[in-house]
Amino acid sequence: MNTKKIEYEENGTTLEAFIAFEGKEGVKKPAICIFHAWKGRDEFAEKMAVRLASLGYIGCALDMYGKGVLGSSARENSSLMMPLIEDRLALRRRCLAGLELVKQLPDVDVAKVGAIGFCFGGLCALDLARSGADIKGVVSFHGLLHPPLQLPTHCKAKILVLHGHDDPMVTPKDVLAFEEEMTKQKVDWQVHIYGGAMHAFTNPSAQDASAGTLYNTTAERRSMASMKQFFDEIFSS
């Protein structure tokens, strides 16, 4: 397994991506951008890059906050996330900067690039798709499904949303509104809902049921299998 960190910039902010791949350099492979949860580009995001690399992709854990910036509490995490939640154009620009970095990597097959995201990162992945970026597909894991507000959307990517039914942060009404948005745009979309699963169901460190964040082994296993099937399908077409 090969890993490296690469600095890049967006609007004067220095960001740092974590890249993982297997095998020799010089061989073109599909790449998957990974958007982190509200804490920042942490160990979970890096492990996901390695996990994707083991499946034959180039895993690229991108940075939405700045090099070395990580929250250490719910309050700090929220203070890092909310400026981008409240300024979706700024969020979109930062997502696109990460995508541009990935497409410039010499071993990336630029015709086969996708994105995934977790929690806040799910919104990032979806907003990247909404931007009309030239990517094959995105997967949102227990992601926020906030509507795009007044930003123009022209989604070309295929969409897979993996959602816990008991997630208090994304209501059934939110899910329905998202489905209607995607249908109106004639997007190739899927939503998989896992019964009994809360927010952050893929993260083993999520152990606060009172806050609605709880790891769920079954939902994690099923969602990862769905992700793999999704990328196998869209990258082979």
Q: What is the pLDDT of residues 170-184, one digit of tens each?
A: 999 999 999 999 999
- For domain 2-236, the question of CATH label 3.30.390.30 is answered with no
Q: What are the domain boundaries of the chain?
A: 2-236
Residue 35's pLDDT is 98
Residue 117's pLDDT is 98
- Cα separation of 107 and 29, whole Å? 6
Residue 184's pLDDT is 92
- Cα separation of 200 and 122, whole Å? 11
Residue 203's pLDDT is 95
Residue 25's pLDDT is 76
Mean pLDDT by 10 residues, the chain (237 residues): 95 97 86 97 97 96 97 95 95 97 96 98 97 96 89 88 96 95 94 97 93 95 98 92
| Six-digit token string for 112 | 């086969």
Residue 149's pLDDT is 75
Place of tokens 């690399």: 53
Residues 6+ apart with CB under 8 A from 116: 32, 33, 34, 35, 48, 125, 138, 139, 140, 141, 227
Beta strand pairing status for 158-164 and 13-21?
Answer: unpaired
